[in-house]
Copies of this chain bind each other. A is one copy, B any other.
Amino acid sequence: MTDTVLSSATREVVIGFDRPFVIIGERINPTGRKILAAEMSAGDFSRVEADARAQVEAGAHMLDVNAGIPLADEPAILAKAIQLVQSITDVPLSIDSSIVAALEAGLAVYKGKALVNSVTGEEERLESVLPLIKKYGAAVVAISNDETGISEDPDVRFEVAKRIVHRARDHGIPVSDIVVDPLVMPIGAINRAAVQVMRLLHRLKTELKVNTTCGASNISFGLPRRNGINAAFLTMAIGSGMTSAITNPLHPEVVEAVLGADVMMGHDPDCARWIRKFREPPPTGAAGEAGRGRREGGHRRRPTPAA
């Protein structure tokens, strides 16, 4: 099945139907985080650095980096944030902006093969972002809305996704370099939001054979105990074929749901990752940590090229 390969300078992550689910950490994003926005504008990236380290430590396989700060020089800030994050972690990044110039500034400094977040089915966006993806050999998140907005009909969203995939092909970008975002709406407002997404995920997997991602935390907007809703959504969506998500690995419920779903899908051979993460600590004095860290799940470290 379709494999989407992303990389940093030294590490490769593959998003695919037969592989462990890929968690893309969502935290490096100033939207709704006033302090972070002020610090990034002022050139202080200490919180970005802390967020990067914490998310990788918590289980993120990739990190999304967004610098969307009103009136700030977003291309410069995004490029700086990407360089910083790449200097302290080796996970591949998702370069996230609604401004095409910022995406290009990020791509220009990025080491490896990035995931660009995002293109939509809007004509202007398609024709400005897809050439960049081709130029830099990146992969791209394709959001299934267009000039007419976001349809509540999953079949309409499927057609938008299909149109993006076809247009990308016209630009010489293979379907394996497209990761479709089916668009997750808050279930507190739209009770059939998850049912719609599950149907769409199934069609995207079986018909378009394309990998998928989403902003998973949207589903629980406005509800109490959001992590419980996020966990239910991620588990069910993985069962429906979703292969990655932009979400918050600092919530243990989210990471546990993903690891559990990997076990269910048969993507954790012998439940080795689950057992390593959750086994009881050995009695004091026993050398029980010997096996820790032996395996990296489905995420393989790429051999560093000879300098």
Contacts and interface: CB of A to CB of B under 8 A. Distances in A.
Contact of A191 (B223, B236, B260, B270): B270
A187 B236 contact: no
Contact of A239 (B191, B239, B278): B239
Interface in A138-169: none
A173 B35 CA distance: 66
A182 to B, nearest CB: 14
A288 interface: no
A188 interface: yes
Q: Is the interface of A mostly helix, strand, loop or mixed?
A: helix
Contacts of A188: 270-271
Given A188-B271, A224-B275, A224-B279, A194 B263 contact: yes
Nearest to A191: B266
Contacts of A280: 224
Contacts of A238: 236
Interface string A254-270: 00110111011110111
Interface residues of A, number: 38
A99 interface: no
A239 B270 contact: no
A274 interface: yes
Interface in A88-141: none
A195 interface: yes
A191 B225 contact: no
A277 to B, nearest CB: 8
A271 to B, nearest CB: 5
Given A235-B235, A238-B236, A266-B195, A223 B260 contact: no
Contacts of A239: 198, 235-236, 239-240
A85 to B, nearest CB: 30
B263 A232 contact: yes
Contact of A260 (B231, B259, B279): B231
Given A187-B263, A266-B191, A271 B235 contact: no
Interface of A: 187-188, 191-192, 194-195, 198, 223-225, 228-229, 231-233, 235-236, 238-240, 256-257, 259-261, 263-266, 268-271, 274-275, 278-280
8 contacts: A188-B270, A224-B279, A225-B274, A229-B260, A229-B274, A232-B235, A232-B263, A235-B257
Closest 7 pairs (CB-CB, A-B):
A232-B260, A236-B239, A225-B278, A235-B235, A194-B264, A224-B278, A224-B279
